[in-house]
Amino acid sequence: MSAREPMADHAARLVEHHGSPLYVYDAERVRAAYRDFTAAFPYSPADFHYAIVCNKNRHLVRLLHALGAGIHANTPGDAFAALSAGVPPDRILYSGTNLNADDLDFLLGHRIRLNLDSVDQLRDFAARGPGGAVGLRLLVDDPTRASRIGVDPAELPEALEIARAAGVRLIGLHMYAGTNNRSLARFLACFDRMVAASELLPDLEELDAGGGFGVPYRPGQEPLDLPTLGREVAGRMEALSARRGRRIRLVVEPGRVLVAEAGSLLVKVISVKERGGRRYVGVDTTVGNVVVESVYYPHHRVEAVAPRGAPLEIPTDVCGNTTHSRDFLARNCQLPRLAPGDLLALRDVGAYGYAMSSHFLNRPRPAEVVMDQGQALLTTRRETFADLLSTQVDA
Ligand SMILES: Cc1ncc(COP(=O)(O)O)c(C=O)c1O
């Protein structure tokens, strides 16, 4: 018996019970990722806010919160998802952009802390009075290069003046190095720019290193060296706190790195064609159900759940169940012999998988199951055709 067989039986039972395609998350893997991530930053006080944008699955949100994580909200909808999962408002940190008056009403009405993205947004916040405390997102790239993020360090004196006049305290700076980043040098260069800019803030209480910690999607890719990154950041925070004569809080907003590798999408083979030296394996899902390389850059490994022998030489494209010309789940794979009914697994889809699925192509979204302590918990029901039209009204 091969080592993979029990897992294959397990996947087959899940699909039998909950149908296909099916998102499956391994709760223990998420817990381990959170423990490894937090342990990599030997600094106190440090506060870790899971970036719910990449997967709002309530079971995963609750288990991360139970381990001590707060939530990073990118939009008011993110904050709503966190509140609905039972995360208290004082454990939600909003670091986002372009809030209109309704957004501000919603977030401030829940007393959610904000990192604002522009001087205009600081004016909007200040105009609401009285006082309060707020952070700013900082442009950590060369301001002469195109970037839409944050406040230019050169704008900080103006921001401080707006805040002073309104009795608002500017207590923090926030950076975002970009998503799926595996470069230590990139993170540290951004962090150093944030530390340098923070010297201007007399009321500084915290620095937020943002998210963007990458994962190796392709075999052979190097993972981000988190222990070194964490030590380097901690060293810089110690030096900053020593200069300030008080402990400055470190905030981090990991998303992808906590959940990506814990998720798979199980799909069923529907038909197999071979022609022109290629094999086309048709499956029962689509790029509308999971965002793939042709649509969003992460590549997802595809594996046969119960392989019948070694991978074949023939280049194989895994095709979706729509006629959309870009509906390929993967291209140029090496997969073993396959027949209708076989199961494939798209790996590493725990982040930005279900979250980026849509109704484009009108295939209802899959169900989500979390495997936790030996139990398969259905956490999101499979959508129906009715869900595709649920927001339409007859005019
Ligand atoms: C401000 C901010 N923080 C954190 C994240 C999470 O990023 P990641 O999943 O790449 O860690 C995002 C993603 O959009 C973000 O915009």
Distance 196 CA to ligand 1 centre (A): 22
Rounded to the nearest 10 degrees, how much is the dihedral formed by the CA atoms of 163, 164, 167, 168? 30
Query: Could you tell me where the DSSP H helices lie in 87-177?
Result: 101-109, 119-128, 156-166
Q: What is the distance in A from the centroid of ligand 1 to the CA of 328?
A: 26
Asked if the structure places residue 33 within a domain, the reply is no
C-alpha–C-alpha distance, residues 355 and 291, integer Å: 9
**To which residue do tokens 């966190």 refer?**
82
| Residue with CA closest to ligand 1 atom 1 | 95
Same domain, 315 and 376: yes
Q: How far is the CA of 115 from the centre of ligand 1 (A)?
A: 13
Say if 29 falls within a structural domain: no
- Indicate whether 394 belongs to any domain: no
Residues with CB under 6 A from ligand 1: 51, 53-54, 72, 74, 95, 176, 179-180, 210-213, 253-257, 351
254, 276, 303 - which closes a domain: 254
Q: Which of 270, 379, 301 is nearest to 24 (CA)?
A: 379
If we measure between CA atoms, which residue out of 257, 255, 241 comes closest to residue 70?
Answer: 255
Q: What is the CATH number of the domain that holds 372?
A: 2.40.37.10
Choose which residue among 34, 72, 348 to substitute to test ligand 1 binding: the one with the highest number of ligand atoms within 8 A of its C-beta. Answer: 72
Q: Are residues 187 and 64 in the same domain?
A: yes
> Nearest residue CA, atom 12 of ligand 1?
211
Collapsing DSSP to helix, strand or coil, 102 comes out as helix
Q: Specify whether the CB–CB gap between 64 and 30 falls below 8 A.
A: yes
Q: Which of 53, 71, 182 to mutate to test the pocket of ligand 1 (most atoms within 8 A of CB)?
A: 53
Identify the residue whose C-alpha is closest to ligand 1 atom 16: 74
User: Are residue 206 and residue 74 in the same domain, yes or no?
Assistant: yes
Phi then psi dihedrals of residue 15, to 5 deg: -70, -35
pLDDT at residue number 1: 34
Among the candidates 235, 254, 273, a domain finishes at: 254
Overall domain count for the chain? 2
Q: What's the 151 CA to ligand 1 centre distance in angstroms?
A: 17
Measured in degrees and rounded to the nearest 5, phi and psi for residue 336 equal -70, -175
- C-alpha count within 13 angstroms, C-beta hemisphere, residue 307: 14
Residue among 7, 26, 29 nearest 264 (CA): 26
Peptide bond preceding 21: is omega within 30 degrees of 0, i.e. cis? yes
pLDDT at 3: 41
- Judge whether 248 lies within some domain: yes
Pairing of strands 328-333, 316-319: antiparallel
- Return the ligand 1 atom nearest residue 179 CA: 10
| 32: in domain | no
Write the CA distances from 20 to 12, 13, 168, 283, 285, integer angstroms: 10, 11, 52, 10, 8
CA 212 – ligand 1 centroid, Å:
5
Per-residue pLDDT of the chain (395 residues; tens, 9 = 90+): 344 446 778 999 999 999 999 999 999 999 999 999 999 999 999 999 999 999 999 999 999 999 999 999 999 999 999 999 999 999 999 999 999 999 999 999 999 999 999 999 999 999 998 899 999 999 998 877 888 999 999 999 999 999 999 999 999 999 999 989 999 999 999 999 999 999 999 999 999 999 999 999 988 999 999 999 999 999 999 999 999 999 999 999 999 999 999 999 999 999 999 999 999 999 999 999 998 766 566 678 999 999 999 999 999 999 999 999 999 999 999 999 999 999 999 999 999 999 999 999 999 999 999 999 999 999 999 999 999 999 999 99
Please work out, in degrees rounded to the nearest 5, the angle formed at the alpha carbon of residue 16 by the alpha carbons of 12 and 20.
85
Q: Are residues 109 and 86 part of one domain? A: yes
Task: Give the atom of ligand 1 at the shortest distance from the alpha carbon of 212.
Answer: 10
Residues 151 and 268 in one domain: no
Assign residue 103 the CATH number of its domain: 3.20.20.10
For 53, the enclosing helix (H) or strand (E) is: none
Range of the domain at 360: 5-24+260-388
| Exposure string over 15-44, b if 16+ CB within 10 A, otherwise e | beebebbbbbbbbebbbebbeebbebbebe
Report residue 368 as tokens: 């989500």
- CB-based contacts of 89, cutoff 8 Å, min separation 6: 83, 110, 111, 112
Identify the burial level of 202 via C-beta atoms within 10 angstroms of its C-beta, where 0-12 means exposed, 13-18 middle and 19 or more buried: exposed
What the block records as the tokens of 220 is 């052979």
Distance of CA 135 from the midpoint of ligand 1 (Å): 17
Residue 296: the pLDDT is: 64
